[in-house]
Each structure stands twice: as C-alpha cells, then as structure tokens.
Structure 1
Amino acid sequence: MAMAMELADKLLLVLRSYSLPVWATIISGLFVAVSLSLSIYLLLNHLSAYKNPEEQKFLVGVVLMVPIYAIESYISLVNPTIGVDIEILRDGYEAFAMYCFGRYLVACLGGEDRTIEFLKKEGSSGSDAPLLGNASEERHVNHPFPMNYMLNPWPVGEWFYLVVKFGLVQYMIIKTICALLAVILESFGVYCEGEFKWNCG
C-alpha cells in the first residue's frame, strides 16, 4: 500500500512538472486563428446585410459563441491555473447564447404569438408526421425513460411553449450561479471539478 502511495506521489510530481508541448500550442493557436477569422467573416456578413434585426441580433449572439469558446479554450490550455476563472465568462456567455438561440427560433417563427399559434395548430392537427422527434400521434411530447413513468405527456401548444421558455430561463440562471460558485470555491481552494467529495464543491 505504501508503495502504491509513493508511486502515485511520483506520478503527480511528474504531471505537475509537465509543460505543454510547443507543437500543441502552435496547432491549437492555428485552429483558434481559423475559428476567429471565420467567425469575424460571418459576423461582418450578417452586420453588413442587417435587414432583419429581429432575427439577426439573436443570431449574432449565437455566432459570437465560437470565438469566445476558442479563446477560452486556448487560454486554459496555455495557462491552466486561470482556467476556472475564465470558465465563468464562458459559462455566462453560454447561458446568454442559449437564450439567444431560443429567441432566434421564436423570431424565425414570427414572434411569440405566432409561435404559440403555430404550436396550437400543430398540436390539434391530425397529421401523422411528428412535430418533434419523440412526439406521439396525438401530438403530445412523450418524456424519456424514466420520466415517462412520473410525468404525463405534454400537449403541444401554449403550455408546452411556456414550459420550454421557463426551462430556458431557469437554465440561464442556474448556469450563471454555478459558474459564480465555482469561482468563489476556487478562490477558497475547495473547488474540485469532476470530483464528489464532502469537503469540496
């Protein structure tokens, strides 16, 4: 047992002294440059043809996720010690991008009223084609296992839209709070990402 502990300590020492290979930094930097240039090109195209602001403003918010993720990943790769601090920015923007994507979908359907009207119409139609991937013939959304034993299927309509909208806002709030908690716990030295222990979060 003592030998295993000694071996584990030596392995940790080697891993701590490990520095990032130059080739990994160069290759990841090239990919970041490519993703940044393509994202900027796409953003400039959207902004130069800004003819439908109700849709495009949310689409720009989604497209900005690529450069933010690329820069955050590169910084975390080069300097892992500040990775958790940068994650809060990424997680906060991820929550905002989810909101933008949801709003973009609603804008593409013509706004909230038209989206609800569309869902009501589709929910009451007798069409055989499912509106959603796991929708039944009765135009209800069935829950996956094991939730299908606890919850009734959701009818497609206004209530379904409100539940999805509430879930999206709830995700944004919880994601932001969890990111803030991660930074606070990291500053006190009790943040253990991916570990389940009583003495760390």
Structure 2
Amino acid sequence: MAPKNVIRFILVLIHVSSCLGRSGKMFSPSFISVAQSLSSWPIFSAGISVTVALVLSLFLTFEHLCAYHQPEEQKFLIGLIMMVPVYAVQSFFSLLNSKVAFICEMMRDCYEAFAMYCFERYLIACLGGEESTIRYMEDQFQPSDSSPLLDVDYDYGIVKHPFPLNWFMRNWYLGPDFYYAVKIGIVQYMILKPICAILAILLELLGIYGEGKFAWRYG
C-alpha cells in the first residue's frame, strides 16, 4: 500500500470515529473523548512527531546497547538521548490535557537536572577521567610557543567575569579549584531542582503557586 493511501486511510478512520463519537451510538464516553481529541490536527500532527521521536531515540539507544564497548561514555550518552522521549511524551500529554501539564513540566525539570549531570560526566569521560581533565585545564593555563611574547595582558586559561561581577568576584583559573567548583555546582543543581519541583507542586495544591506573578500571596 502506498504511503499516500495509508495516510488517507488513517484520516478516514479518524473522521469516522469522530462522527460516531459525536453520535454516541457505538463507543463509550472515554473512547468518544479520545476520538474527538484525535480529530484535531494539532494533536494528530503532534502524535506523529512524538512517534517518530520515540522510534528514533529508542533505536539509537538500542544501537548503543548493542555496541556497549565504552560504558564510561555511553551510559551518560544514553541519559542524554533519553531527553528526547521524555520531552516528547511530556509535551504530548500536556497538549492532550492541560490539567496534567504542570506535573509534566515539573518532571521534565527534574530530568533536565539529571541530563545536565550526564552531559558533564560525558565530557569528563571523553577527556579520559577527572585527573586527565584537570591536567588538560592546567595545560591550558601554561603559555605555549604560540603565546604572544609582548602581550602583558595575556590571560589564556583564565575565566574573567563580566561587569559588574568582576567587582566582587576574582578571576577563575583553570585547574583543580575550577573543576571542583563546577562539579559541586552541578550536584547542587541536581539536588535543588527536584526540591523546587516538590515545593511548586505543594504550592499548586494549596492554590498559591503563581509562575511569573510578583505578588506577596503567591509562591
């Protein structure tokens, strides 16, 4: 069967199910609501996009698992790939039912923190581990043969803060201190993000959560 005929057949089924659902003679109320929602073009196109995203991401994950020769890198890379199905399913559920959009958004934010951790660990694994990463940073701080000899402001390997942060924060030098500061910051983000999500859910249940609202009675 040609792809054009398949698409036409699916559209006919959706149209027939929506018509029968409105008549209420054959299907249950829950199926009627689903059939009516599927008749919407935005939901139909979103469903196709989610299906494609799920198939491709799961196929890529399966390929990594079949060739699992570098676990220190691939296990974190799989965590990054799983962002695709998590975000796709969350967005689709939010489109189907706006009442669950808030919970889905909180779950997405929690996985975002985990994905950031996976990305940081993946970069470290690509550089050969923590010790190799620190040595690489220290090497960046050492002047090389290509460094300008007469440039007294040469600051390769130094992270300078923009104005006005440079008034009360000293420069960051690439090395162990900078590495552990970034590592601690990412771990803190992983801990604080779920805590903030739980607080947001509690405030939403109490009816005092107001995202983007600057008022004393909203949290």
Q: Distance in 2 between matches of 1:62 and 1:157?
A: 26
Select 1:48's aligned residue among 66, 71, 75: 66
Q: Distance in 1 between matches of 2:145 and 2:82?
A: 38
1:101-125 CA-to-partner distances (Å, cap 9, x unmatched) read: 1111111111111111111111223
Select 1:94's aligned residue among 72, 91, 112: 112
Aligned to 2:161: 143
- Structure 1 gaps, min length 5: 1-18, 130-135
Q: 1:27 to 1:125 in 2, by over 3 A?
A: same
Residue identity opposite 1:112 in structure 2: E
Verify the 8 A CA contact 1:141 1:156 in the aligned structure 2: yes
1:111-126 to structure 2, matched below 5 A, reads 111-126=129-144
Give the TM-score normalised by the residue count of structure 2: 0.75
Q: Distance in 2 between matches of 1:128 and 1:80?
A: 58
Q: Distance in 2 between matches of 1:45 and 1:127?
A: 43
Report the secondary structure of 1:196's partner residue. Answer: coil
Q: Distance in 1 between matches of 2:162 and 2:65?
A: 40
Verify the 8 A CA contact 1:32 1:71 in the aligned structure 2: yes
% same residue: 49
Structure 1 or 2, whichever has the larger Rg, is: 2
Give the TM-score normalised by the residue count of structure 1: 0.82
Please tell me whether residue 197 in structure 1 is matched to residue 209 in structure 2: no
The one of the two structures with greater contact order (alpha-carbon pairs below 8 A, sep at least 6) is 1
Q: 1:186 to 1:128 in 2, by over 3 A?
A: farther
- Structure 2 gaps, min length 5: 1-36, 148-153
Select 1:58's aligned residue among 65, 72, 76: 76
